[in-house]
Amino acid sequence: MIQHLIIAPILIPFIAGALMLLYDDRQRAAKFWLSLVSGGLLLLVAIRLLIEAKAAGSGGIGFYLLGNWAAPMAIVLVIDHLSAMMLVLTATLGLASLIYARAVWHRQGQHYFSLFQFLLMGLNGAFLTGDLFNLFVFFEVLLAASYGLMLHGSGQARVRAGLHYIAVNLAASLLFLLGVSLIYGVSGTLNMAHLANLVPQIPEAEQPLLKMGFALLGIAFLIKAGAWPLSFWLPNAYMSAAAPVGAVFAILTKVGVYAILRLSMLLFAEDATTMAGWGAQVLILLGLASITFALFGTLASQSLGRIAAYAVILSSGTVLAVIGFALAGGGGWMLTAALYYMIGSTLATGALFLLVEPMSRDDGGIAAMLALTAEIYGTGKDDNVGAETPDGPAMPAGLTLLSVCFGICVLVLSGLPPLPGFIGKLGMIQAALANAVAATFLIWSFIALLLLSGFVTIIALARIGIQTFWGSDETASPVMALEVAPALVLIALLGVMSIKSEAVLRYTGNTVEALEDRSRYAYGVFSASRTTAPILPGAGEAQP
């Protein structure tokens, strides 16, 4: 039955979301428990798939042929180290966000939990699919659900930012569709494994159309990843979203990063005339520009939600730059450390979004300045959100636990020891110094920005922390258990990542090895059995 688990991360949230549409909106408790069961099952399945991939070593790939059709006609789902890692990360953030939403946010509008399940379905499908058309389909599923979640609640600021978010992502979807059409018109297939075999054989006369198609795909993915200059929409949108929505949106940007990493390593890593040539330089420059943009935005921000939004851009920009270095011949260790850093920064950013509301209830002495800043940016606080009392009991020593969670998030995002941010940044810097993979200026620029990002993050977040925990003499508002418990779980996972850093780095190292061995993926899809497709060592090896 192990091969059938590959489709479970798509079916579980789909069935749960569809069932909840049959419930009356007054039955919110039943919807929550159904969502919780779905999230728990999703996490268990994702962990089982990750364990299977880990046990199989760097050669572990599993395939699921829908309808039992042979590739390339079949809709193929592929599970390997990278997709299993992203499934676990999605399920973890999703479960934490669901529990947090039970406090108050599920009451701010209809069908919250159904939309959330469909969002998880789209995310999991995007990570599992083996062809570009279904990648587009799952993109649209997760985007459609995110539109509803983005506008969940009310308020002028959220509606304005939500409409901008919808417009930008519709434009990205149009570019995605045009790119897919061009690629299919030239190659006659959208199966990723088939494309990996066909791209080197495309006639020279048709290469410009093929490159244009992949360029349009790249722009769409970069918009979703929040890369500069295509990230102008992200700060306002993410900070205006509800706290649990912002937390799960931290993984949404990684869908674009995942798609760029998957396609570039699979299709272009061995071709110096395309992505590994000019494309690698573009990714490096865009990554460095995104980091710089995030640094200036972080320093200029006066609210925790906006700083968290720029932390998302900073994380994506860092990983994009490393992907460019890896394509230019930077070796596997730099990408290994970057994937480790991506996991830690995504968990920390998600936890930071969950801390925004309990930390913003008492603005202290700079309340007037924060209100003025929000008015200038057009992202003021919604008055009706705080009108309802959160469900559940208050957490004992809630303010203390809140400050501990916030402090650990600061340490991770700034890259201070001994947490995952430090380990990931140290690994990237060591690899950058050991491998002169590009012009020296780009290497030293990346190292300088990586170090500067930690310094800027400390300044910005310390300013917020001092004002929140030390700047007010008034009695602090109570912190509910449902609000701080999910953040505590994410913080605990960051601690586990630090303690088990060697094991996590070994896993991300195997992930990079599997990505570099493109033949295992490219030929494995065609050699997958139509009756069974277990995850075994060497299951996807090239056939003679």
Rounded-to-integer distance, Cα 437 and Cα 431, Å: 10
pLDDT at 477: 64
Find, among 137, 186, 135, 145, the residue nearest to 165 by Cα: 145
pLDDT in the model for residue 346: 93
Domain membership of residue 469 as a residue range: 2-377+394-527
Q: Is residue 540 part of a domain?
A: no
Q: How many CB atoms are closer than 10 A to CB 266?
A: 18
In a domain, 249, yes or no: yes
In a domain, 477, yes or no: yes
Are 284 and 442 in contact by the 8 Å Cβ rule? The answer is yes
- The answer to whether the bond into 418 is cis (omega within 30° of 0) is yes
CB atoms under 10 Å from CB of 373, counted, come to 17
Q: How confident is the model at residue 55, as a pLDDT? A: 77
Rounded CA gap, 55 and 490, in Å? Answer: 25
Tally of domains in the chain:
1
Q: Is residue 412 part of a domain?
A: yes
CB 396 within 8 Å of CB 479: no
CB count, 10 Å around CB of 132? 22
**Rounded (10°) CA dihedral 283, 286, 289, 290:** -100
Contact indicator for 302, 373 with CB cutoff of 8 Å: yes
Establish if 152 belongs to a structural domain: yes
**Tokens coding 209:** 């159309």
Q: Identify the bridge partners of residue 78 per DSSP, sorted by sequence position.
A: 63
pLDDT at residue number 483: 79
| pLDDT on residue 372 | 39
Token duo for residue 96:
């934490």
Q: Could you tell me if residue 535 is inside a domain?
A: no
In a domain, 383, yes or no: no
Q: Would you say residue 414 lies in a domain?
A: yes
pLDDT in 10s for each residue of the chain, 544 residues: 667 888 899 999 999 999 988 887 777 778 888 989 999 999 999 999 988 888 765 555 777 777 777 766 778 888 888 999 999 999 999 999 988 888 766 566 678 888 999 999 999 999 999 888 899 999 999 999 998 888 877 677 788 888 888 999 999 999 999 999 999 888 888 888 888 888 878 888 888 888 888 889 989 999 998 898 888 888 888 888 888 888 999 999 999 999 999 888 888 766 544 444 557 888 889 999 999 999 999 998 888 889 999 999 999 999 999 998 888 776 678 899 999 999 999 999 999 998 888 877 655 434 434 443 444 444 444 444 444 555 555 666 667 788 888 889 899 998 888 889 899 999 998 888 886 545 578 888 899 999 999 899 999 888 888 877 776 655 556 677 777 888 899 999 999 999 998 999 999 998 888 888 877 777 777 666 665 444 444 444 444 3
